[in-house]
Structure 1
Amino acid sequence: MSLKRFVQLFICFFVAILIPFAMIQLLNIASLTIQFLLYVILGYIILTLPLTLMTLRKNK
């Protein structure tokens, strides 16, 4: 794996953690179940879209 690819993946993972965390703080969600669901759903969406696009772009 090249350094460029590693940095891209690290940024995607970092953003996938920060965005749900920010939304939970912004919306003042206290329920652990809803927090967990937001982390899982938003994290999955945030990770799969850029990683899929980077993979498709890499294959071209």
Structure 2
Amino acid sequence: MHLYQCPCGYAYEPEKGDENKGWKPGTPFEKLPDQLTCPSCQRAKMHFREKSFSVPLK
């Protein structure tokens, strides 16, 4: 699993998308508009960092 996180803590998860913004589940971060800003702090897209992690199986 991976997500893209803004320094303020907001995270975009491509698997979930963001229906409020019109980004359907499965929309890759790279396909989001270059003028994207964080909905929490308004930082530019370039400030987001990719985070990858494993989810343990139960």
By the TM > 0.5 criterion, same fold?
Answer: no
What's the TM-score once normalised by structure 2's chain length?
0.25
What's the TM-score once normalised by structure 1's chain length?
0.25
Q: Comparing both structures, which one devotes a greater share of its residues to helix?
A: 1
Q: Comparing both structures, which one devotes a greater share of its residues to strand?
A: 2
